[in-house]
Amino acid sequence: MFGGGGDSGYKKLSTVNRRMFIMTAAKLVIFGGIITRLFSLQINENKKYLTLSDKNRLREWRLPPVRGDFEDFFGNKIASNLKVYQLHVVPEQVEDFRYLMIRLRDILDIDSKTFKKILKKRNQQKSWETLIISENLSWDQFAKINFYLHELSGAKPVLSVARNYPYNEKFTHLLGYVAQASEKDLIENEVIKKSHVPGLRVGKIGLEKTYENQLIGSNGIQRYEVNAYGKRINQIDFVEGKKGTNIKLTVDTEIQAQCNELLKDKAGSICVMDIYTGELIAMHSSPSFDPNLFLYGISHDNWNEILNNPKKPLINRSIQGLYPPGSTIKPIVALSALENDVISTKFKVNCTGKTEMYGQTYHCWKDTGHGIVNLRDALKVSCDTFFYEMSRRLGVDRLNLTAKKFGLGEKVFNGTYNEEKKGLIPSTQWKKNALGRGWVLGETLITGIGQGYMQTTPLQLCLMTAQLANGGFKIKPKIIYDKKSDTYEKIKYEMEKNRIELLSDFQQDDALVDFSLERKKRDTDLYKPLYRNQENVKFVLEAMFASTNEVRGTSYSSRISDKKYQFAGKTGTSQVKKITEIQRELDLDISQIPYEERDHALFVAFGPYINPRYALSVFVEHGGAGSSAAAPLAKKLFKTIVDRHEEREKIREKSLMEI
Amino acid sequence: MFKETALSGQTTFFQKLRSLDYILLVCILILGVISSFAMYATDGGELLYHTKSHVLRFIIFFIMMFVLSFLNIRFWHATGYLFYIMVLGLLIWASLYGITASGSQRWVDLYFINLQPSELMKIAIIVCFAKFYHRAKINQINHFKNLLVPMMILILPILLVVSQPDLGTSILIALSGIIVLWLAGINLKYFIYSGLFLLISLPFVIAFLKPYQKLRILTFFNPDKDPLGAGYQIIQSKIAIGSGGLTGKGFLKGTQGYLEFLPEKHTDFIFTLFSEEHGFIGSLALLFIYGVIIYRIIDIGKNARSFFGKLFCFGFASSIFVFITVNMSMVLGLLPIVGSPLPIMSYGGSSMLATMIGFSIVMSTKIYQKQLIA
């Protein structure tokens, strides 16, 4: 008996064969479907999946960019970078964060205060953001971490670079400093945002901030193939970052260091400038602080010490400090009077120590008076009575124009320093607009001796002196060295050309120079004369020479008789408070006056007297008399400045040869 | 004379050897070689545990298949029910004393091998049904009594496997069984009825599913919902296959594979890895080999004189097809992820053993194709 058998068996066979045929057809269709799917994934969407697969396996690590250096004129690095070892953790990638932290605490010996701070920071940021456990591991700690690394999954020792200021506090105000980029930095600066990595330091103030985009450099990129657990399998490629641009400054570290030394324990400022090239040789504001403190987040104690220092180290006095210029303004007042033909050089005033005008008594600094003085003597002995009378005749508005032409009341480095102040040179118009009151004639008198509303920065006084000393020509102050800029010879030539041009113009139409028009053209007026008649400038410079180098001159005791170093200057002593009659009677010694009420000591100077090249301003806050507190500092500085000159020119020649 | 020998089954050994299906044998061997290289690639290009044991198993089971091929088809017919009952017994043993791994109690410890009886059941159910319908008369097949027994035969192992829990294998067993039932001649309406019944009871079934099983089904419909969780496997598998392109990334160069983005790359996702490294062309070639194997089995079934042999071949060919398509559709993102190995390619002894037993029954059918079974 066969299975099924007979008709039934045949029917059974035909059923199974028929159904198998249907089945086979269905199989072909389904296989076709699978092949279609394979085709669509592998051929049609291949690109998309290749990208996804690369996204899976490739990870980029951005390395912090290396910041460009600052160097001084002689090539000394005044801001550079140090290699530092850091420890980073990305909480998201850590299996057991608490365990890891406790292990790290033990290995690195982190104190409980810092440890709590780190944990607090962890809670403040997102879990995928890098948490910096330590910014600056010692080599020992770094080695230890690497030794235990296999049991510290998630901890990443990183070799990084950090800003370093080898001269510590010496250049702080000039350079500014860097600190960790804040949210605000990222929002304000697109470039910072683009190259930001955790722990990136950016400029916070000063040149470091202004030149951020040049200094920052570009990130290095490490591309790794990683497995599904994020472990790096091998490095695919490495794009080296580009270091930021090195910026060469015009400053001289040695002179800057001496400025630091001279102002030690004092509050004040010293600025030194090349009177032709406008190069800033030194600019120091005292007291200063060590910018390296800000690198890893300044400690509470250090910060408080800076903040609570009564001499306010955070203020950059050279450009931010506004003070009455005192008698240092007198050369400009004298020049203004001569230029406007208010007086002649022969004009004389009898100084009795005080003068009555408009119902008020105006005192000369010398109670006994100077007797009969002419303009030259008045500048030399700084006779206030003479200047009261001259100012009265000149008027504040004409003085205002001359002062502004020579650089007062305007920012010296427009844009280079955000914190720079422009000061104030008063005028009748200004008073009406700003205070809503009319000008009082008496105010002209005190403006004429650099008191009252008048406020200048030490750097402005330096520029003013420089533009007088070069014969009365406009120069462009600069702090960034650029070898393509005009040479001393070219500038000299240009000035001479402009001098002759003016002379011939003057002779032609004998017209007065329209000062207001002149002002509008200021910026295009580089190396153009700021005077109408150069004889007036020469007269003022000669009077300044007398002030330093002739007997009875106010800074006679600070003179250098060696022709090589001989300089000319003008002292200034600016009052902080109106002196009462009682105080005048008492004639107190400086040590008997409270610090905040003592006079500011100022001194502006240029030299060497024959062929002058440099101008400077010295300012000592509450230092007392300019002749005793400020001028002696200039004397010490001038020797260095002149001695460094040859060296400086040698370097300049070398750098020009390199083109 | 020929009829006599066919009836008595006394063919000489060389005649038997000659009548083996060499195309099928060669295809199985090629598949063995391909799978060994694929396994080597999953081990990251090193001769490690998976590759070694896969190659070893393939050699042992291939020889076993070869030897078993010479068993008379009558033997398989005679032991059909016994085979089923033994495997069912192993399933019960597994559910009582089995080895648990990754949350599922699937394996029995046979001292020399850890056996997964559910894999064997995929074959046993076909043998069992083939025997059952070998004798059944066509006009009795759709009688209620004759429906009830196969139903029991099918449902018992499915319940056991579902309770392990192993949804994937139980579905594959069910599919194997149902296909054989249909081929055997059961009226289509019963399938429609039971299909409808299943649809109605689906909500209740879902209520009994484990949370991870529910998640897998949900994930299938929207893998991007949880790309790092449940959808991870589908997404990564699609990325691997898609990035393979026309010619693939090259042997041992499948980044998704060696960088560990692919889950279960030795077993269920072996095709993904293969497809990533060898591309569309490689995948087509693999499909072609499977196609030839299936075609050969159907052809042998056609030429078989015994209904047992014929039904087994048809059923086996269909279930291999189902295993392949379910596995591939799964890794291609066409079906939810359920555990289902790719025959011969995937790592796993029980699956390979079951497939090889199937092949040896097919071979036996070929050798004894003229044989009739009482």
DSSP string spanning A485-529?
Answer: SPPHHHHHHHHHHHHHHHHHHHHHH-PPP-HHHHHHTGGG-TT-B
User: What is the per-residue pLDDT for B12?
Assistant: 84
Q: Are B24 and B159 within one domain?
A: no
Q: Residue B259 is nearest to which of A4, A9, A227, comparing CB atoms?
A: A227
Q: How many domains does chain B have?
A: 2
User: What is the per-residue pLDDT for B224?
Assistant: 65
User: What is the per-residue pLDDT for A78?
Assistant: 95
Instruction: Please report residues of A whose CB lies closer than 8 A to that of B287.
Output: 31, 34-35
Residue A539's pLDDT band, with cuts at 50, 70 and 90, is very high
> By residue range, what is the domain housing residue B298?
1-75+223-374
- Last residue in a domain, options B209, B236, B271: B209
For residue A128, give both structure tokens.
């995928």
d(CA A324, CA A457): 9
Q: Are B41 and B179 within one domain?
A: no
Residues of chain A whose C-beta is under 8 A from some C-beta in B? Answer: 1-4, 8-9, 11-13, 15-17, 19-20, 23-24, 27, 30-31, 33-35, 37-39, 41-43, 45-46, 48-50, 52-53, 56-57, 225-229, 233
Mean pLDDT score, B145-149: 86
Instruction: Please report residues of B whose CB lies closer than 8 A to that of A39.
Output: 280
User: What is the per-residue pLDDT for B205?
Assistant: 77
SS3 category, A623: coil
Determine whether the interchain pair B308/A57 forms a contact, defined as Cβ–Cβ distance below 8 Å: no
- Which neighbouring-strand residues pair with B114? B109
Q: Which residue of A has its CA nearest to B333?
A: A37
A540 or A299, greater pLDDT:
A540
The CA distance from B316 to the nearest CA of chain A, in Å, is 12
Whether the Cβ atoms of residue A616 and residue A642 lie closer than 8 Å to each other = no
User: Judging by DSSP bridges, how do beta strands A354-357 and A268-274 pair with one another?
Assistant: unpaired
Mean pLDDT score, A144-161: 82
Q: Are B116 and B260 within one domain?
A: no
pLDDT at A511 over 50: no
Instruction: Please report residues of B whose CB lies closer than 8 A to that of A41.
Output: 238, 241-242, 332
Q: pLDDT digits over B252-268, tens only?
A: 888 888 888 887 888 89
Q: What percent of chain A has pLDDT over 70?
A: 95
The CA distance from A101 to the nearest CA of chain B, in Å, is 26
Q: Are B232 and B273 within one domain?
A: yes
Angle made by CA atoms A182, A186, A188, in degrees to the nearest 5? 110
Determine whether the interchain pair B325/A52 forms a contact, defined as Cβ–Cβ distance below 8 Å: no
Reply yes or no on domain A60-248 having CATH 3.30.465.10: no
Q: Is B138 on the interface with A (CB under 8 A)?
A: yes
Q: Which DSSP string corresponds to A192-203?
A: HHHT--TT-EEE
Determine whether the interchain pair A228/B261 forms a contact, defined as Cβ–Cβ distance below 8 Å: yes
Query: How far from chain centre, in Å, is Cα A47?
Result: 51
Q: Is residue B217 assigned to a domain?
A: no
pLDDT at B223 over 70: no
d(CA B26, CA B78): 29
Q: Are B367 and B310 within one domain?
A: yes
Instruction: Please report residues of A whose CB lies closer than 8 A to that of B186.
Output: none
Instruction: Please report residues of B whose CB lies closer than 8 A to that of A6.
Output: none
User: What is the per-residue pLDDT for A298?
Assistant: 79
- Last residue in a domain, options B209, B234, B266: B209
For residue A174, give the nearest of A253, A117, A119, A234 by alpha carbon. A253
Angle made by CA atoms B187, B157, B374, in degrees to the nearest 5? 60
Residue A541's contacts (CB-CB under 8 Å, 6 or more residues apart) are A468, A469, A568, A606
Q: pLDDT digits over B269-297, tens only?
A: 999 999 999 999 999 999 999 999 999 99
- Last residue in a domain, options B177, B209, B241: B209
Q: Are B194 and B92 within one domain?
A: yes
- Domain(s) of CATH 3.90.1310.10: residues in chain A: 60-248
Instruction: Please report residues of B whose CB lies closer than 8 A to that of A42.
Output: 241-242, 244-246, 275, 279-280, 283
Q: Are B103 and B11 within one domain?
A: no
Instruction: Please report residues of B whose CB lies closer than 8 A to that of A21.
Output: none
d(CA B46, CA B56): 16
For residue B351, give both structure tokens.
């699956």
Q: Are B316 and B241 within one domain?
A: yes
Q: pLDDT digits over B47-103, tens only?
A: 888 999 999 999 999 999 999 999 999 999 999 999 999 999 999 999 898 888 777
Q: Are B158 and B261 within one domain?
A: no
Q: Are B198 and B278 within one domain?
A: no
Q: Are B324 and B183 within one domain?
A: no
Q: pLDDT digits over A639-657, tens only?
A: 999 999 999 999 988 888 8
When mean pLDDT is compared across A12-16, A252-256, A260-264, A454-458, the lowest value belongs to A12-16
Q: Is residue B204 assigned to a domain?
A: yes
Residue B120's pLDDT band, with cuts at 50, 70 and 90, is very high
B238 phi and psi, to 5 degrees? -65, -40
Q: Average per-residue pLDDT in chain B? A: 88
Q: pLDDT digits over A283-296, tens only?
A: 999 999 999 888 77
Determine whether the interchain pair A49/B243 forms a contact, defined as Cβ–Cβ distance below 8 Å: yes
User: What is the per-residue pLDDT for A389?
Assistant: 94
Query: Which run of H or E residues covers position A77?
Result: strand A77-89
3-state secondary structure B225-271: HCCCCCCHHHHHHHHHHHHHCCCCCCCCCCHHHHCCCCCCCCCCCHH
Determine whether the interchain pair B298/A35 forms a contact, defined as Cβ–Cβ distance below 8 Å: no
For residue A298, give both structure tokens.
């300044």
Whether the Cβ atoms of residue A44 and residue A131 lie closer than 8 Å to each other = no
Residue A6's pLDDT band, with cuts at 50, 70 and 90, is low
The CA distance from A46 to the nearest CA of chain B, in Å, is 5
Q: pLDDT digits over A71-95, tens only?
A: 999 999 999 998 888 888 888 778 8
The CA distance from B63 to the nearest CA of chain A, in Å, is 30
Q: How many CA atoms lie within 13 A of A235 on its CB side?
A: 6
Instruction: Please report residues of B whose CB lies closer than 8 A to that of A232.
Output: none
Determine whether the interchain pair A46/B298 forms a contact, defined as Cβ–Cβ distance below 8 Å: no
d(CA A441, CA A448): 11
Whether the Cβ atoms of residue A59 and residue A223 lie closer than 8 Å to each other = yes
Q: Is residue B316 assigned to a domain?
A: yes
Q: Are B116 and B168 within one domain?
A: yes
pLDDT at A519 over 60: no
CATH of A253-304+316-657, one of 3.40.710.10, 3.90.1150.10, 2.40.40.20, 1.10.287.110: 3.40.710.10
Q: Is residue B216 assigned to a domain?
A: no
Mean pLDDT score, A574-595: 79
pLDDT at A565 over 50: yes
When mean pLDDT is compared across A160-164, A245-249, B64-68, the lowest value belongs to A160-164
A594: DSSP letter: -
Whether the Cβ atoms of residue A289 and residue A303 lie closer than 8 Å to each other = no
Instruction: Please report residues of A whose CB lies closer than 8 A to that of B252.
Output: none
Determine whether the interchain pair B255/A38 forms a contact, defined as Cβ–Cβ distance below 8 Å: no
- Domain(s) of CATH 3.40.710.10: residues in chain A: 253-304+316-657
Determine whether the interchain pair B245/A31 forms a contact, defined as Cβ–Cβ distance below 8 Å: no
d(CA B151, CA B132): 12
Q: Which residue of B has its CA nearest to A19?
A: B183
Tell me the residue type at B11. T
The CA distance from A292 to the nearest CA of chain B, in Å, is 44
User: What is the per-residue pLDDT for A64?
Assistant: 85
pLDDT at A581 over 80: no
SS3 category, B114: strand
Query: Which run of H or E residues covers position A185?
Result: helix A183-188
CB pairs under 8 A between A and B: 139
- Tell me which residues of chain B, numbers 229 to 288, contact chain A at a CB-CB cutoff of 8 Å: 236, 238-246, 255-256, 259-261, 275, 279-280, 283-284, 287
Instruction: Please report residues of B whose CB lies closer than 8 A to that of A32.
Output: none
Residue B230's pLDDT band, with cuts at 50, 70 and 90, is low
Burial code (b: 16+ CB inside 10 Å, e: under 16) for A470-497 equals: bbbbbbebbbbbeeeebeeeebbebbee
Determine whether the interchain pair B283/A1 forms a contact, defined as Cβ–Cβ distance below 8 Å: no
Q: pLDDT digits over B325-371, tens only?
A: 999 999 999 988 878 899 999 998 999 999 999 999 999 999 998 88
d(CA A408, CA A400): 9
User: What is the per-residue pLDDT for A510?
Assistant: 46
SS3 category, A362: strand
Mean pLDDT score, A155-170: 87
